[in-house]
Amino acid sequence: MKTPTISSILAAEPWYYDDDRRCVKFRADGAGEIWDGHETAFTLGASFDWRALNLTALNEEPAITTGKTAKILAHLSLEITLTERRCPCPEGWNFDEKTLERIRMTTPSFREGAFQPKTFTVRLESGRFAKPFMEDHGGVKKFGDQAHSYALWLSFRVFTRWRGITPAESSQGEIKREHTQQESALTSVSIEVPSQRGKLPTQKQVWTSGSSMTGIFEMNDSNKTVFDAVVAPILPQVLQGKSCNVFAYGHSGSGKTHTIVGYEYEAGSDLGLCLATARQLVEALNRLNEQNACDPLGVGVRIYELRRNNAYDLLNDRRECFVREGSDGQVYIRGKTEMLENGKVRVKPIVTKACWSFEDLSRELQKGLKLRATGMSTVHDQSSRTHAVIELEIVTKTLLEARDAVIERESELVPVGKHATDVYIEEQSKAIIRNPDGGYAPNPDYQLDQVRIDAAEARKAEFEALVDLAKEHESQIFGTTARKHACLGGRLVFVDLAGSEYYNDKSGLKMNQSAHEKQIGRHINTDLLALKEVIRARAQGSPRIPFRSSPLTMVLRPHFQASEDSHSAMILTVSPSSSEFAATMNTLKYGNLVGAAGNTK
């Protein structure tokens, strides 16, 4: 038998994944098809052209293993370009007329930007399958010990966006910049301060990144262009109930707010990534709600900022909240304890505002971001000095009510649990006496009232059972609704990281900052370095990921862990003005570290 090459393995048969509900076929002639059996996905049947960015890798003959431990055969960078909205249904997939009508109905929602070339990373592995690979290397049927393992995934992607030159900067000159695409399909960035007459640029005025950037956006690229390249490819993941993250990082005045939120709220091409995403989600959910009027799907929005170890709820008058890890290992963001009637104690999480229209969501978003904290920066007197987190989650009214019920049951448990603890301490205190030498001994004049202790513990157990029942009900909602709509619980999290002027700034520009703001800068440095290490550990498949290193990574932990194959991206916003060369270089240096960490194999 002829030894297979990477190309022949890739094109041998269709690859099935996500419980056989998705199928992708790579043909040897460079064409292919992708089918998605989920009702909410944007890619329900599409043809594409593909090419490997490193052609020599396709012809390699890998060392095949049949052991239980999977072995990576190859990492390939493939450029995939959609060519047609519809394609023939894969063999064995039978759709009824209603499903086919839905596919036809969703055809107009395929955005023009979806037909632009996009780069994916394919990882091929051998091992973990029933028969020797040489005998049966057909398409993957499922994950697990009895199937050939594979993954089709996007690495952590880092993009650079150059903002336009302002009138005040036009006389100062632009940074010289070059973008070089490498064989890996990643791009390196070189920047240089314009040389002055008779002078050569110094080492501090020239810098080149590694091959760590996925894409570059120039000054004339619109927010729509950025959305189509960065967010549009991961929206189908969100509409399958998965969690994805988009980070924005840059110096004050570099265009972060314009990129994430936008300023011309009514203009489609100028909508920020967050609002453009909201519009796409609402449109997709409206189509589903036409078939599900009894419990409609909506978008729950949460907006909060992180400063040091605390969070501030921007949809609840900046109410202070605390980032804590519970006994169950989960991370919770909760407000201060509220004392209610009858001894009840309530601790509310970050507020979720349910929005059933794009107008509602846009209004809530703008209202929350107006409360964003500002402070003195090295460039502007008004500068972001906190990390802002915007969570968009697909919810239903029933789901939100179930979550409120959990909070209510927990508030009822607190006084009962406290009473049980008080009874136990009281009885134990009466049952012992202090010796003359300072030690303790059993009190012969008092008999421990175990019946009283047991009664208090039994009542506590009853209320604990009610809490467990409420949590189980919440889980059941996911189970029952997800069978109809896999999108429930899907999240897209936007993180507007604090201004990069705080990151590793060794220049004299800190002179104008107060001692308090310098301390804030040190905390921000800790957060940013912790984020880089989390991204590195995830990319390397490390068994231990340092989420506890900072409040920022603790908060992001559930979003990173929600889906093993969830996608993340970072957009670096930078200024082309030569007067801000140091700030631009700082931003690119951090992005280079993150990009290198996120693409570690």
Mean pLDDT split into 10-residue runs, the chain, 601 residues: 71 62 76 64 64 73 54 64 62 58 47 56 52 32 33 64 85 84 71 68 73 86 88 83 88 84 65 91 89 84 89 91 80 81 76 93 87 51 70 93 91 89 93 86 89 95 94 84 76 84 50 70 84 78 81 85 70 91 88 75 47
Cβ-proximal residues to 81 (8 Å cutoff; 6+ apart), any chain: 48, 49, 50, 115, 116, 117, 118
- Please tell me whether 257 is known to bind a ligand: yes
- Please tell me whether 550 is known to bind a ligand: no
In this prediction, residue 329 carries a pLDDT of 74
Torsion sign (Cα): 348, 349, 350, 356:
negative
Task: Give the amino acid at 173.
Answer: G
Please spell the DSSP secondary structure of 204-235, one letter per residue: GGEEE--S-BSEEE-TT--HHHHHHHHTGGGH
Q: Give yes or no for a contact between 31 and 48, defined as CB atoms under 8 angstroms apart.
A: yes
Picking from 144, 136, 138, 125, the residue whose alpha carbon sits closest to that of residue 64 is: 125
Q: Give yes or no for a contact between 393 and 491, defined as CB atoms under 8 angstroms apart.
A: yes
In this prediction, residue 573 carries a pLDDT of 94
- Per-state percent for the chain, helix, strand, coil, to nearest 5: 35, 25, 40
* Rounded-to-integer distance, Cα 73 and Cα 335, Å: 49
- Please tell me whether 127 is known to bind a ligand: no
* Rounded-to-integer distance, Cα 122 and Cα 138, Å: 16
- Please tell me whether 252 is known to bind a ligand: yes
* Cα pseudo-dihedral 532, 535, 537, 543, rounded to 10: 130
Please spell the DSSP secondary structure of 322-351, one letter per residue: EEEE-TTS-EEEEE--EE-GGG-EE--BS-
* Rounded-to-integer distance, Cα 431 and Cα 425, Å: 10
- Please tell me whether 523 is known to bind a ligand: no
In this prediction, residue 298 carries a pLDDT of 94
- Please tell me whether 251 is known to bind a ligand: yes
Write down the residue that tokens 């996500």 correspond to: 18
* Rounded-to-integer distance, Cα 445 and Cα 428, Å: 13
Picking from 51, 64, 52, 50, the residue whose alpha carbon sits closest to that of residue 2 is: 64
Please spell the DSSP secondary structure of 276-310, one letter per residue: HHHHHHHHHHHHHHTT--SS-EEEEEEEEEEETTE
∠ CA 34-35-38, rounded to 5° = 140
Give CA separation, 265 vs 141, 169, 271, 366, 497, in Å. Answer: 45, 26, 6, 10, 22
- Please tell me whether 250 is known to bind a ligand: yes
In this prediction, residue 90 carries a pLDDT of 54
In this prediction, residue 145 carries a pLDDT of 32
Q: Which two tokens stand for residue 271?
A: 């909508």
In this prediction, residue 425 carries a pLDDT of 94
For 166, which DSSP code? P
> Across-strand partners of 4?
none
* Rounded-to-integer distance, Cα 480 and Cα 489, Å: 13
In this prediction, residue 129 carries a pLDDT of 36
Q: Give yes or no for a contact between 241 and 486, defined as CB atoms under 8 angstroms apart.
A: yes
The model's pTM is 0.70
Residue 601 CB neighbours (<10 A): 10
- Please tell me whether 241 is known to bind a ligand: no
Q: What are phi and psi of 192, to 5 degrees?
A: -155, 140
